[in-house]
Amino acid sequence: MFAIVRTGGKQYRVAAGDKIAVEKIDGEAGDTVSLGDILLAGDGGEVKSAEGLVVSAEIIAQTRGEKVIVFKKRRRHNYRRRNGHRQSLTLLRILAVGDAKKAAPKKEAAPKAETAPAAEAKAAPAQEAPKKEAAPKKAAAPKKDAAPKAEAIEKKPAAKKAAPKKDA
């Protein structure tokens, strides 16, 4: 079974076991993600309904593409600009194309981070310290008036141009 999936503004034809490089998707190597934006699905030569289908994939690695040189030039204007760009990519291995019920569960890296704050929350009530009240903020001092401007500013006389010499 194959599916046409949209991710990162591009479309990919995928089947179970395929490896593809897509625009960066959040996650670490080994995490399982599900691609839900399925445009078309099929089995062999017949087209099937894409509603309720999910493509599950495993992140192989987070990497970057080859460097692309962007060179701009405007001839006869001495204008040349050279820039490079490397796109961030995610390498995916397609695990299954099927119903949302049958798809592999999505792994989340977040529970690891959540366990540490929970432990801190339990330890915090045992070591409570009295809280100090913040001192009130001081009022800002009024700004000083600017020095009065001179009404008449003396201008320097402009330099006189030398008169052109006349040939006799």
**125-139 pLDDT, tens digit each:** 555 555 556 666 666
pLDDT of the residue at 45: 83
> Count of residues for the chain?
168
Are the C-beta atoms of 84 and 72 separated by less than 8 Å? no
**56-93 pLDDT, tens digit each:** 999 999 999 999 999 999 999 999 999 999 999 999 99
Region for 27 from its dihedrals, namely left if φ exceeds 0, alpha if ψ lies in -120 to 50, beta otherwise: left
Q: How far apart are CA 4 and CA 13, in angstroms?
A: 4
Mean pLDDT (the chain, rounded)? 79
pLDDT of 123 over the 70 cut: no
The arithmetic mean of pLDDT across residues 156-165, rounded, is 66
**26-56 pLDDT, tens digit each:** 999 999 999 989 999 998 888 988 888 999 9
Q: Residue 14 — very low, low, confident or very high, per pLDDT cuts 50/70/90? A: very high
**146-156 pLDDT, tens digit each:** 666 655 555 66
pLDDT of the residue at 30: 94
pLDDT of the residue at 120: 52
152 burial via Cβ count (<10 Å: 0-12, 13-18, 19+): exposed
Backbone angles phi, psi at 149, to 5 degrees: -85, 145
* Residue linked to tokens 């050279």: 82
Q: Residue 105 — very low, low, confident or very high, per pLDDT cuts 50/70/90? A: low
Q: Residue 114 — very low, low, confident or very high, per pLDDT cuts 50/70/90? A: very low
Please name the residues in contact with 137: beta carbons below 8 A apart, sequence gap of 6 or more.
none
